[in-house]
């Protein structure tokens, strides 16, 4: 085997491993919840840009495209799903990689979405990334630390299967419940009060990141064997982050499409 091809493949694998995010179910839940809180202007623009798609469907696009061999998906955009925030510090103390991170990408795509010179295709891509990134930033380990690659190097045994703590929060806890994304959405939506929704309507990514970074510290397991106890302790937090992620997607789009 050509050693250069091997090293390139290994590098891509490591990068892909780092940027795994809410699984398909989690992202679709945040997208579906967001649809319920869009302002009339935001609803109009989303319908125009997505035509026969909705926010739940496009929420997974940025992950699905990672198999595309184009350099944009294999290299350029790989760091846009997360931020690095060390314990005891805020995002302002973090140094984004040269390729950018979730915050810089969110700003880039917001500008692209609002620009009068952007093509329809560029605006559609921007909207899909915005929905995805906001969902990602509500997964606590996407406001992670490069010391453990957002929890990816913290090996655990989750319900008798080898995993890592990042993956447990991306999909393990969600998939374990055996619910479709529509079932998740229905159950979580009913439990969001008007007062909660109003309180969560914050379009500032630095607020979401600070929340996730603070929550993250209490999610590291004391024992590598995780099952019922860990699920009991942390499933309520996961549910709340999905709810908040959906409301914040709407808050952000409502702000953009004022």
Terminus-to-terminus CA distance in the chain, angstroms? 55
Prediction pTM value: 0.91
User: What three-state secondary structure class fits 54?
Assistant: coil
Rg (CA), the chain: 18
The torsion angles phi and psi of 240, rounded to 5 degrees, stand at -65, -40
CA 218 to chain CA centroid, Å, is 19
The torsion angles phi and psi of 209, rounded to 5 degrees, stand at -65, -45
* pLDDT tens profile 170-217: 999 999 999 999 999 999 999 999 999 999 999 999 999 999 999 999
Cα angle 100, 105, 106; round to 5: 145
Q: How many CB atoms lie within 10 A of CB 95?
A: 8
Alpha helices in the chain (DSSP H): 3-18, 24-35, 40-50, 55-58, 61-64, 71, 102-114, 120-136, 165-167, 173-176, 181-190, 194-200, 205-216, 228-256
**pLDDT of res. 20:** 58
Dmax over CA atoms of the chain, in Å, equals 60
Please report how many Cα atoms fall inside a 13 Å half-sphere around the Cα of residue 149, on the Cβ side. 14
Give per-10-residue mean pLDDT for the chain (258 aa). Answer: 38 42 93 98 97 96 96 95 91 84 97 97 98 98 93 97 97 97 98 98 97 96 96 98 98 97
Q: Write down the architecture of domain 3-67+109-256 according to CATH.
A: Orthogonal Bundle (1.10)
Instruction: Give the separation between CA 237 and CA 59, rounded to whole angstroms.
Output: 21
DSSP-assigned beta bridge partners for residue 161: 158
**Three-state secondary structure readout of 158-182:** ECCEEEEHHHHHHHHHHHHCCCCHH
Instruction: Give the separation between CA 202 and CA 181, rounded to whole angstroms.
Output: 24
Tokens of 155: 């090996």
**pLDDT of res. 239:** 98
């Amino acid at each position: 085997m050509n050693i250069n091809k091997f090293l390139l493949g290994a590098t891509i694998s490591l990068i892909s491993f780092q940027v795994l995010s809410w699984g398909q179910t989690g992202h679709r839940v945040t997208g579906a919840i967001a649809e319920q809180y869009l302002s009339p202007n935001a609803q109009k623009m989303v319908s125009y840009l997505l035509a026969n798609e909705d926010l739940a469907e496009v929420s997974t696009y940025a992950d699905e495209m990672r198999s595309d061999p184009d350099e944009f998906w294999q290299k350029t955009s790989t760091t846009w799903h997360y931020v690095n925030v060390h314990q005891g510090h805020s995002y302002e103390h973090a140094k984004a990689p040269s390729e950018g991170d979730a915050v810089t990408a969110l700003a880039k795509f917001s500008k692209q979405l609002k620009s009068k010179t952007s093509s329809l295709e560029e605006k559609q891509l921007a909207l899909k990334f915005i929905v995805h990134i906001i969902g990602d930033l509500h997964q606590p380990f996407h406001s992670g630390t490069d010391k453990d690659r957002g929890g990816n190097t913290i090996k655990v045994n989750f319900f008798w299967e080898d995993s890592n703590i990042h993956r447990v929060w991306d999909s393990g806890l969600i998939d374990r419940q055996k619910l479709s994304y529509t079932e998740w959405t229905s159950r979580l939506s009913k439990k969001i009060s008007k007062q909660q929704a109003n309180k969560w309507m914050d379009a500032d990514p630095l607020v979401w990141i600070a929340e996730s970074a603070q929550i993250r510290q209490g999610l590291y397991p004391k024992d590598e064997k995780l099952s019922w106890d860990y699920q009991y302790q942390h499933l309520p937090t996961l549910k709340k982050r999905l709810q908040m992620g959906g409301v914040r997607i709407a808050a952000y789009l409502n702000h953009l499409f004022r």
